[in-house]
């Protein structure tokens, strides 16, 4: 496995000089936010062996790297907020549609009456929050597929918004709802010059975004919201909320399970099952490869069988059935053989796909993204700030810090040698 650092080179033949060597077994966690599972990389040109961070954003796997991920997210979000008055900012929230009635458990305060007829308490009934009233009637497959295709629905929404506001830029963060569905929070930046005659912009943005559909059936829910960010404390509040949303996403709620008996156990099991049986793009690609291989194998077997039939026909100068009938029988047998072998692989779980959406309730890897610069419009970050750039800055800072440390050690060593020589003389 190689680490591709030369992605900016024009040709694809550039090969990285770094090679992955496995987990760094001789490294102890150091520093304020250390990496719990550093990786060992080998420089094939110099033979140097260095340890690097694992780079995960999951708090369950590594608290240090998850902390850096959240800090980088906040820096990238802030890099797109300007205070020059040339742009206006809006905070848009788009929710998932209803897939079935769920229990209404308050987050705090007094008890509330639920649809099931009972009064739920915020602390005692916390394990019922987001749980369907009837798990057998809840649309788990639709929810898993919504989580999987939410990115395409957002692309359709963005296209619709940019028809009204061509210079729109955005920064979006996905967040989990208690029922296991994703919803999206977006900061929209629109130049102030494009608002003439637009009316109430926040309500228009919410109306345009809510009307977006994908595939003729996929759409946003009804509890959408859009409000303008006025700057100052409002900006800090929005940034803090999105950092909190990223922190919630990095907790891996899909892998967390309540200890002991819990009333949401069946709900979580049904979510896992719906995501597992969902057909993702990799599943389709893998099945196509398997079917193609089975087709090629069956064609080879058919050719061999036909050669044998022709040979027997030449030897005996007669066939029990006409050659055309034999060919049709062979083709039917070949198609049946392909189907039989395919379903045998399916039932044996040989085509089981282990991609990330099957383990995260249908959600893909993306958590936070921003608009990229193009020829027509600039990206979200005015300074072009990216995670790769922030990582490079940390690497340079670390190299300079280590250089100063070694210079200090060398100076102290020289002073000690000089003092020793003077005392002995």
**Rg of the chain in Å (alpha carbons):** 30
Instruction: Report pLDDT for 379.
Output: 85
164 token code pair: 């009204």
Instruction: Report pLDDT for 233.
Output: 59
Handedness of CA 124, 129, 132, 133 (dihedral sign): positive
3-state secondary structure of 402: helix
Instruction: Report pLDDT for 220.
Output: 93
Instruction: Report pLDDT for 348.
Output: 46
Instruction: Report pLDDT for 8.
Output: 38
Instruction: Report pLDDT for 3.
Output: 35
Q: Contact at 8 Å (CB) between 33 and 64?
A: yes
Instruction: Report pLDDT for 291.
Output: 66
Mind listing the pLDDT tens digit of every residue in the chain (425 residues)? 333 333 333 333 334 677 777 777 655 556 677 888 888 888 788 877 778 888 777 777 788 888 888 888 888 888 887 776 778 888 899 999 999 888 888 877 777 788 888 888 877 888 888 888 888 889 998 999 999 999 999 999 999 999 888 888 898 888 888 888 988 988 888 887 766 655 588 888 898 899 999 988 899 998 898 888 876 556 667 777 666 666 555 555 555 555 556 778 888 888 888 888 888 888 777 777 766 666 676 666 666 666 666 666 665 555 454 545 455 555 666 565 656 655 555 544 445 677 788 888 888 867 788 888 888 888 888 888 888 888 888 888 878 888 888 888 888 888 888 888 877 76
Instruction: Report pLDDT for 55.
Output: 78
Instruction: Report pLDDT for 2.
Output: 35
Instruction: Report pLDDT for 13.
Output: 38
Instruction: Report pLDDT for 146.
Output: 92
CA 301/CA 341 separation, integer angstroms: 14
Instruction: Report pLDDT for 369.
Output: 85
Cα separations (Å) of 333 from 36, 89, 330, 339? Answer: 57, 65, 5, 10
State the CB neighbour count (10 A cutoff) for residue 218.
18
Please identify which residue in the block is written with the tokens 């309500």: 203
Q: Is the pTM for the entire model greater than 0.75?
A: no
Cα separations (Å) of 121 from 331, 337, 373, 386, 423? Answer: 66, 59, 48, 44, 78
């Amino acid at each position: 496995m190689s680490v591709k650092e030369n992605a900016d080179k024009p040709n694809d033949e550039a090969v990285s000089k770094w090679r992955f060597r496995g987990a760094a077994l001789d490294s102890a966690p150091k520093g304020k936010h250390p990496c719990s599972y550093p990786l060992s990389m080998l420089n094939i040109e110099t033979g140097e062996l260095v340890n690097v961070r694992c780079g995960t954003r999951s708090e369950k796997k590594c608290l240090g790297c998850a902390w850096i991920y959240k800090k980088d997210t906040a820096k990238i979000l802030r890099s797109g907020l300007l205070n020059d008055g040339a742009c206006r900012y809006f905070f848009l929230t788009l929710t998932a549609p209803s897939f079935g009635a769920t229990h209404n458990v308050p987050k705090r305060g007094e008890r509330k009456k639920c649809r099931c007829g009972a009064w739920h308490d915020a602390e005692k009934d916390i394990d019922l929050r987001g749980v369907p009233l009837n798990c057998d009637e809840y649309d788990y497959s639709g929810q898993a597929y919504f989580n999987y295709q939410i990115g395409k629905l957002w692309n359709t929404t963005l296209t619709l918004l940019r028809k009204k506001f061509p210079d729109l830029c955005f920064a979006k963060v996905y967040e989990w709802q208690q029922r296991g569905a994703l919803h999206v929070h977006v900061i929209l930046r629109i130049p102030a010059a494009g608002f003439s005659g637009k009316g109430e912009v926040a309500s228009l943005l919410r109306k345009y975004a809510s009307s977006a559909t994908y595939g003729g059936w996929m759409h946003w829910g009804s509890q959408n919201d859009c409000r303008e960010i006025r700057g100052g404390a409002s900006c800090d509040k929005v940034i803090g909320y999105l950092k909190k949303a990223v922190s919630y996403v990095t907790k891996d709620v899909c892998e967390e399970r309540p200890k002991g008996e819990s009333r949401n156990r069946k709900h979580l099991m049904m979510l896992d099952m719906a995501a597992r049986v969902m057909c993702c793009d990799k599943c389709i690609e893998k099945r196509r490869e398997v079917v193609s291989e089975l087709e090629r194998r069956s064609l080879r077997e058919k050719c061999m069988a036909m050669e044998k039939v022709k040979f027997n026909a030449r030897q005996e100068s007669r066939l029990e059935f006409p050659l055309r009938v034999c060919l049709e029988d062979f083709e039917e047998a070949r198609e049946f053989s392909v189907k039989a072998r395919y379903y045998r692989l399916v039932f044996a779980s040989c085509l089981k796909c282990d991609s990330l959406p099957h383990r995260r309730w249908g959600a893909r890897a993306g958590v936070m993204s921003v608009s990229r610069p193009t020829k027509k419009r600039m990206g979200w970050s005015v300074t072009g700030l990216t995670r790769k750039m922030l990582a490079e800055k940390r690497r340079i800072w670390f190299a300079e810090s280590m250089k100063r440390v070694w210079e200090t050690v060398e100076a102290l060593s020289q002073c000690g040698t000089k003092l020793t020589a003077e005392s002995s003389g």
